Amino acid sequence: IAVLSKRPRLIFDYFKQLFAQVTNPPLDAIREELVTSLTTQIGPERNLLDPGPESCRQIVIPFPILDSDQLAKIVKIHSEDSGVKGFATHVIRGLYELEKGAPELAARLEAIFGEIDEAIEKGARFILLSDRHSNAELAPIPSLLLTSAVHHHLVRRKSRTQVGLIVEAGDVREVHHAALLIGYGAAAVNPYLLFESAEDLARNEL
């Protein structure tokens, strides 16, 4: 198990799920779609006790896992060409300078917090936490660490309900990983590297 391992492990590996594996009748969102829903709403959350027109200004998706095309539509929905206002997305680059180590990681998180606060003040309604464009100098912040840190920062600032969090991460490889991200604050997850790897295998299959 991860806690006893001497090898580098993903943060996801330090968490285990406890759930009922088998139910009767089966709860399956694919085979039992009439009674089981994975529909997710993304966006600002208004007062549940005082619903109004603003409460409806959310994006509804049928499944919390997004492919790259679906994510691109959400990011571009507020563009000048679309004519749709009130759905602005701000992209956060979850990268830090690897050579500077842990202090740089902590400093980068603080900088991200400030960037998000400013984006919310300017009208952002979706925050995309992305680890794309990493290289030998810029390492990705583990997506679970980044998501949970941003979630709790927004809770402390009392601005958590003003934005929806979307995660675009290459370290998401299993259902367990996506479930943890959703449990720690993400409304939707785009495991882009998983999709791209599957597409590459399909194209090059002998």
Helices 143-156 and 101-121, axial angle in degrees (round to 10): 50
What's the CA gap between 49 and 7, in Å, rounded? 49
For the ranges 10-19, 64-73, 90-99, 149-158, which has the lowest average pLDDT? 10-19
In sequence order, the 6+-apart residues with CB closer than 8 A to the CB of 118 are none
Q: For the segment 64-99, what is each residue's pLDDT rounded down to a tens digit? A: 999 999 999 999 887 666 556 778 999 999 999 999
Q: How confident is the model at residue 204 (pLDDT cuts 50, 70, 90)?
A: confident
Taking the CA atoms of 168, 170, 171 and 173 in sequence, report the sign of the dihedral they define.
positive
Q: Which residue has the tokens 């606060």?
A: 117
State the pLDDT at residue 81.
63
Q: What is the pTM of this model?
A: 0.88
At 189, list the tokens.
């997850």
Considering only 11-20, 155-164, 167-176, which range has the smallest mean pLDDT? 11-20
| For the chain, percent of residues with pLDDT exceeding 70 | 89
The answer to whether the beta carbons of residues 84 and 57 sit under 8 Å apart is no
Report pLDDT for 87: 86
Residue 206 reports pLDDT greater than 60: no
Reply yes or no on whether the pLDDT at 17 is more than 80. no
pLDDT score at 109: 97
pLDDT(148) > 90: yes
Residue 142 is predicted with a pLDDT of 96
| 190 compared with 202, residue with greater pLDDT | 190
